[in-house]
Amino acid sequence: MKKLFLMLVCVFTTLTMAAQTKVTWNMELGIGMSGWMGKHADNSKGIFNQKVGVGLDIPLTGLVSFQSGLMWVSKGASYEETQSNKIRVNQNYFQMPLLAAFHIGTAADFDMVFTAGPYLAYGVCGKSEFDVDDFTVGWDTFEDSRVPETDHEVIPGLNRFDAGLQLGIGLDFGKWTAGLDGEFGFCKIASGKAPHNMAFFLKAGYKF
Distance CA(198)–CA(126), nearest Å, equals: 16
| pLDDT-above-90 percentage for the chain | 62
Task: Of 11-20, 154-163, 191-200, give the lowest mean pLDDT range.
Answer: 11-20
Cβ-in-10-Å burial (0-12, 13-18, 19+) of 37 comes to: middle
The residue among 170, 16, 29, 20 whose CA lies nearest residue 103 is 170
Distance CA(8)–CA(20), nearest Å, equals: 18
Tell me which H or E stretch contains 11.
helix 2-18
pTM for the whole structure? 0.84
Per-residue pLDDT of 57-91, as tens digits, reads 999 988 999 999 999 999 999 988 766 688 899 99
Q: 184: which residues sit within 8 A by CB, 6+ positions away?
A: 37, 164, 165, 166, 167, 196, 197, 198
